[in-house]
Structure 1
Amino acid sequence: MRKTTYEQIFNRLVKASYNGNLEQEIEEIQANGDAATQKYVYYALGNGDPDKVVFQVDDENTNAEEDHHPEAPCLFDDIVYDMEGKVVIQDRNCSECGQFIDTCSFSNLIDKKEFIPLIDILKKKEVPVYAIVAPAIIGQFGEHVTMGQLRSAFKHLGFFGMIEVAMFADILSLKEALEFDRAVNNQEDFVLTSCCCPVWVAMVKRIYHTLIPHILPSVSPMVACGRGIKRLHPEAKVVFIGPCIAKKSEAKEPDIRDAVDAVLTFEEVQQIFEATDINPAEMEDIPSEHSSTGGRIYARTGGVSKAISDTLDQLRPDKPIKIKAVHANGAKECKELLQAISSGEITANFYEGMGCKGGCVGGPKALLKPELGTIHVNTYGLTANALTPVNNPYVMELLDQLGIEDVDSLLEGESASIFQRQF
C-alpha cells in the first residue's frame, strides 16, 4: 500500500483547509487519482464508521503474489489473509493496538484521520478547543522544544489552550493508591491497574474475563483530563494528542465517549505542523508545567507502578503491605502475564501492562525511538517541583475546582464520578 500517498493526501487537505480552498483541493486529488485514492480522501476527511478507526483499503498496486505479511503475527490470531493475500481483521479478540498499520507496507490498512473536521471550529473560535497532550510528548518535536513552545504551536493552530495529561495522571495516582489500600489487605490480594494502556485493558475485558474483578475502577488519564476540562468548561471540545492508535478506539467506547472529541497522533501533528509552516522550536515559550514527577513518567514502562507506589507511601506510610509490582512490556508480555495470572501464578500485588515496548514512548505513531523517548520522559520527570501529587499544590487546587473536597473523596461521591469506570 502507498502509505506515503495517504499521508501526503492528509497533508494537502490540512493545508487546503487552513487556506480556505478544501473543496477545490479534493476535486483536484480525486480527478487525478484511482479508486484507492478516493478512499484515502474519504478517510483522511474523517469519514467512515464512527465507531471504527482502522479500515481496509484495496490498492491496485498491492502485489498479491509477493509475501508481504506483517513481520509479527497477531497475538490473538485476529489478523488473517484473504485469497488475494491481503490483510483482514476478524474483530474477534482485537485489542485495536494499531501495530499492523505500519508493520507491513502492503497490509492495506489505514487509520482514520480526525483533524480536518475540527479546522473550521479552530478557525472560527466560537467554542474553546483544548489540546490535551500525553506525557510521552516531551522531546518528540525536537530535543530542546519545551512544553511552553508546544503550547504556543497549538495556539497558532487555533487551539484555546494545551493541558498536560500528566496532571490528571497525578489525580489517578492518588485514586489508584487509595484503591490499592482498600483492595489489598493480605498477601493473596492483587490488583491490575487501569491507568496504563487501552490495549492492556482491552485484553482483560475481551479475553481474560476472570480477571475483571481485580482491575481497578479508574478511567485512563486521557479520559480523566477530558472529563475534567468539560466539567469546568462544558462548552469545550477536547482533542487528545499521543503516540497511540488504540487511543482513537478508546475515545469511542460507549461508557467514556463523553470525554474526548478527537484523537491525533504525534505523526499526524507533525504533518499538521508541516502543512501550516509551524516550527515548535521557533515558538514563544509559554510555561505552565503543573504535574509531578509521577504523572510525567506514566509515559514509560514501570512509570505507573512507581508513581502509584510513591504516592501510596506518602498517603499511607503505615500500611504494612507495600506495592510489589510486575510490569508487562509490550503486547506479547501482556498476553503472557495475563495468562499466567489467570492460571494462578500470582507473584505480585500490582500488575501494570503496556501494549507497546517501552510503554507509550514506544507507540506506533511516536516520532522517536522508545529508548530516546524514555530518556526525555525521565529527564522531564526530574525537573518537576513535586515527586508525587501528594505534595503538588496544583493538583489539590484542581481537585477543589472540580468539587472534590479532599483526596479521600476520590473514592466516592458524584464529584469524583468522572474518574470512575466500572469494568
Structure 2
Amino acid sequence: MSIIQFKEANCKNCYKCIRSCPVNAIAFKNDQAEIIHDECIMCGRCLSVCPQNAKSVNSDIDKVRKFIGKKEKVYVSLAPSFISAFDHDERWLYCALKKLGFTHIEGTANGAYQVSRQYERLLHKKEMKNIITSCCPSIIFLIEKYYPQLMNQLAPVVSPMIAHAKMMRETYGSRIRVVFIGPCISKKDECNDLQNENQIDAVLTFEDLDNWFEEEGFYQSDEVQEEISNFDNIARIYPVPGGILKTIGRNYKKNYKTISVDGIERCKEILDSMVDGDISNYFIEMSSCTGGCIAGPCIKNIKGGFLTSRERLLEYAKRAALNSGSSSVKSIMSATKLDFSKRFVDKSKKIEMPSEDVIQGILNSIGKFSRDKELNCGACGYHSCREKALAVYLGKAQVHMCLPYMRERAESISNIIINNTPNAIFALDKNLNIQEANTTAQKMFNKSNQYFEGRNIVEILTCDKFEQVLESGENIYDEKYTYDDYSMVVKQSIINVSKHNTVIVIINDITEEEAQRQRTLESRSQNIDITQKVIEKQMRVAQEIASLLGETTAETKVALTKLKNSIMSEIGDMK
C-alpha cells in the first residue's frame, strides 16, 4: 500500500496532481486518481498542489505511542530543518519531546557529519566518474526507477538518518527504538528498505509532530525544564541548498567540480545530461525539493516564508559552534567503525512500447487524426498528446481526460440539440441584449444571428414580460402570447439564470395549432346551432304527435340535450 493515499470522495477530476507529478506516477482510473507505488519517488508534490486536500500521508503516531506506552526506550533523530518548521528553538523542542515520553533526543546532524566524512573519502579516491549525493531518498528513488544506468555514479553511502540511527544503536544499545522526525515523506519509504536492517522503527513528519503538540496543548507554554544533552554540534547546515558542500573540507573538493542542484526538474535535466555522457568529474549535491529540506512537503510554513526559514536555519547552524566542546557528542561523532555503505537496486520497469498504429488509434479516438490536432496543451497532466496516449495504453490514463476534446464534444452535442430543436431560443445578458440566437429563432423571425447579436430583445419582440421576469426573479413557463407584428401566437418561457447573469427565452410557435383550434371551435359551434334547430323542430313535431309518441318524445329530448351540452363543454375547454 502506498504511503500517500487518496480520498475518493474528494477527487474532482482536476488532474492537478498528474500535471505536477514529475514522473507521472499517478494513474486515473474510474474517475479517481491513485498513486502507482512502484513508479512513485515520494517527492510529495501531489500533496502540495491538491486543491481538494484529497490526499493524506500514513502516520506513525499511533505506532510511536505504543512504543512509549510499553515503556520502551524510544530515541529521536531530529532533522535540523525543524528550526524552520516550528516557532521554537531546539531547547523548547527537546523538552516538548521529552514530555511526550521520548527517552532521548538528538539531531540528525550527527549522522550528517559522518556522511560527509564518507563523501570526503570518495572525493579523495577519485574513482567515480561523477558523484551524486545520496542524502535525499527521492533522488535515490528517481535514479533507481528512471535512471538505473547512473546508479554507479550515486555515492554508495547511507543517508544521515540511517547513519545516525546506526550511531545511536552503537552508543545506546541495539534494542532501543529509533524514531526519525523530519520534513520528508520519502523517509517513510526509506526506513522500510531491507538494506537498512530495521535501523529506523518509525518516521514522523513535522506535520505529525505539530498535530501531536496541538493535541497535547504544548503550544500554550514556553516553559523549558530540562537541559539539552548530546544533541549535535555540527552539520546543521545540511537542509539548505549547498549545505552538504559546506560540510566537506576544501582540500577534498579539488579533485571534482562541485555544484548544488535542487528541484526535481533541474535534477532530471542534469541526470539526462549524465546519461548522454556530457557530464564528468562533478560532485553533485542533489535535493528533490526546490529550496532544499527547509521546503519539504511536510514542513509547517512559518511567517516570512522561505527567506525566514532559511535565515532561521543559518542562524541555528552558527550556534553549533557553542556546543563544539561537548565530549559526549564527540564520542558519537567518532563512531568511525560503523559500516555506512549502501548498495542501490535497479527498480526500473521494463515497458513494452506500443506501435505507432496503436498510438495513432488512441489519438484518433479523441479526434486527433493529424499532427495539427495534437495541441499538447498539458491540461490532462501529460506533456504531449502522444505521451498521454501512451499512458492510456499503459492503463494509467483514460481517453476522456483530454479537456479540449471533451469540450468540443460537449459543445457539439449541445449545438446539435439547440440548433435542431423546433423551439426558438434566445440567450440574453442582464440588460436583455441578445447574445445568441439558435437556428430555429433565425428561421422563425427571418433574421440572421449577426442581426440579432447585441440588439435588445424588445427591439425584436414587443413584450413587457422580459423586464417583469428580470425585476421579479419569477420565471414564466409556457405562457401563451401573441406577437401581432409577426402574426404569430406562441407559447413562451422566460427563465432568469441569475447565477450567470443570463436570461433564456424559449419560444414555441403555435400559430398553426391555434388556427386549427379556432377552425375546430367554429365547426363545433355550427354543430351546436344545427343541434339546437333539430331540437326545436323535434319539439314542434312532438307537440303535434304527442299523444302518439308518449314517453319516446321525452327520451329524444334528453338525448339531444346531452349531446348539445357535451359539445358546449368541449368548446369551453378549448377556450
Residue 216 to residue 263, structure 1, CA distance change in 2 (3 Å) = same
Higher strand share: 2
Task: Confirm whether residue 328 of structure 1 aligns to residue 328 of structure 2.
Answer: no
User: 1:352: which partner in 2?
Assistant: 285
Structure-2 separation of matches of 1:121 and 1:207:
37
SS of 2:106 mapped into structure 1: strand
User: 1:25: which partner in 2?
Assistant: none
Match runs of 1:249-288 below 5 Å: 249-279=189-219, 281-284=222-225, 286-288=227-229
Match runs of 1:230-241 below 5 Å: 230-232=169-171, 233-241=173-181
Task: Confirm whether residue 398 of structure 1 aligns to residue 361 of structure 2.
Answer: no
User: 1:41: which partner in 2?
Assistant: none
User: 2:556: which partner in 1?
Assistant: none
User: 2:307: which partner in 1?
Assistant: 371
Task: Confirm whether residue 338 of structure 1 aligns to residue 284 of structure 2.
Answer: no
Report the CA distance between 1:147 and its aligned residue: 1.0
Report the CA distance between 1:363 and its aligned residue: 0.3
Contact between 1:132 and 1:164, CA under 8 Å: does it hold in 2? yes
Structure-1 separation of matches of 2:174 and 2:119:
26
Contact between 2:5 and 2:35, CA under 8 Å: does it hold in 1? no
User: 1:205: which partner in 2?
Assistant: 144
Report the CA distance between 1:257 and its aligned residue: 4.7
Query: Which of 169, 172, 180 is the matching residue for 2:112?
Result: 169
User: 2:22: which partner in 1?
Assistant: 75
Amino acid of the structure 1 residue aligned with 2:4:
V
State the structure with bigger RCO (CA 8 A, min sep 6), 1 or 2.
Answer: 1
Query: Which of 106, 109, 127 is the matching residue for 2:52?
Result: 106
Amino acid of the structure 2 residue aligned with 1:337:
I
Residue 320 to residue 365, structure 1, CA distance change in 2 (3 Å) = closer
Structure-2 separation of matches of 1:53 and 1:339:
28
Residue 107 to residue 338, structure 1, CA distance change in 2 (3 Å) = farther
Amino acid of the structure 2 residue aligned with 1:159:
F
Structure-1 separation of matches of 2:307 and 2:254:
33
Contact between 1:149 and 1:286, CA under 8 Å: does it hold in 2? no
Contact between 1:329 and 1:359, CA under 8 Å: does it hold in 2? yes
Residue 347 to residue 306, structure 1, CA distance change in 2 (3 Å) = farther
Amino acid of the structure 2 residue aligned with 1:359:
G
User: 2:161: which partner in 1?
Assistant: 222
Structure-1 separation of matches of 2:81 and 2:184:
10
Which deviations, in whole Å up to 9, do the C-alpha atoms of 1:240-283 show, x marking residues without a partner? 11111111111111211511111111111010001011127333
Which deviations, in whole Å up to 9, do the C-alpha atoms of 1:365-396 show, x marking residues without a partner? 11133332211111111122289x9x986664
Query: Which of 315, 338, 343 is the matching residue for 1:422?
Result: 343
Structure-1 separation of matches of 2:268 and 2:184:
19
User: Structure 1 unaligned runs (5+)?
Assistant: 1-48, 405-414
Contact between 2:230 and 2:328, CA under 8 Å: does it hold in 1? no
SS of 2:247 mapped into structure 1: helix
Task: Confirm whether residue 306 of structure 1 aligns to residue 306 of structure 2.
Answer: no
Structure-1 separation of matches of 2:120 and 2:277:
24
Contact between 1:114 and 1:262, CA under 8 Å: does it hold in 2? yes
User: 1:155: which partner in 2?
Assistant: 98
Report the CA distance between 1:345 and its aligned residue: 2.1
Match runs of 1:177-196 below 5 Å: 177-184=120-127, 189-194=129-134, 196=135
Residue 63 to residue 184, structure 1, CA distance change in 2 (3 Å) = closer
Contact between 1:100 and 1:107, CA under 8 Å: does it hold in 2? no
Query: Which of 39, 53, 56 is the matching residue for 2:6?
Result: 56
Contact between 1:62 and 1:106, CA under 8 Å: does it hold in 2? yes
Report the CA distance between 1:75 and its aligned residue: 1.7
Which deviations, in whole Å up to 9, do the C-alpha atoms of 1:285-311 show, x marking residues without a partner? 523465444x11111111112212xx3
Which deviations, in whole Å up to 9, do the C-alpha atoms of 1:213-237 show, x marking residues without a partner? 1211110000111122222321210
Structure-1 separation of matches of 2:192 and 2:68:
22
SS of 1:255 mapped into structure 2: helix
Contact between 1:305 and 1:352, CA under 8 Å: does it hold in 2? yes
SS of 1:297 mapped into structure 2: coil
Structure-1 separation of matches of 2:282 and 2:218:
46
User: 1:122: which partner in 2?
Assistant: 68
Which deviations, in whole Å up to 9, do the C-alpha atoms of 1:93-117 show, x marking residues without a partner? 3212122123113374321111112
Structure-1 separation of matches of 2:117 and 2:255:
15
Residue 141 to residue 373, structure 1, CA distance change in 2 (3 Å) = same
Q: Which runs of 4+ in 1 moved over 6 A?
A: none
User: Structure 2 unaligned runs (5+)?
Assistant: 345-575
Report the CA distance between 1:357 and its aligned residue: 0.8
Kindly name which structure, 1 or 2, has the bigger radius of gyration based on alpha carbons: 2
Contact between 1:54 and 1:110, CA under 8 Å: does it hold in 2? yes
TM-score, L = length of structure 1: 0.74
Structure-2 separation of matches of 1:89 and 1:157:
33
Residue 92 to residue 139, structure 1, CA distance change in 2 (3 Å) = closer
Residue 416 to residue 120, structure 1, CA distance change in 2 (3 Å) = closer
Structure-1 separation of matches of 2:185 and 2:38:
18
Alignment root-mean-square deviation, CA = 2.6
User: 1:6: which partner in 2?
Assistant: none
Structure-2 separation of matches of 1:338 and 1:394:
41
Which deviations, in whole Å up to 9, do the C-alpha atoms of 1:151-194 show, x marking residues without a partner? 11001000001110001111111111112111359xxx321111
User: 1:137: which partner in 2?
Assistant: 82
Report the CA distance between 1:205 and its aligned residue: 1.4
Residue 63 to residue 217, structure 1, CA distance change in 2 (3 Å) = closer
* 320-329 vs 153-162, which moves further: 320-329
User: 2:42: which partner in 1?
Assistant: 96
SS of 2:16 mapped into structure 1: coil
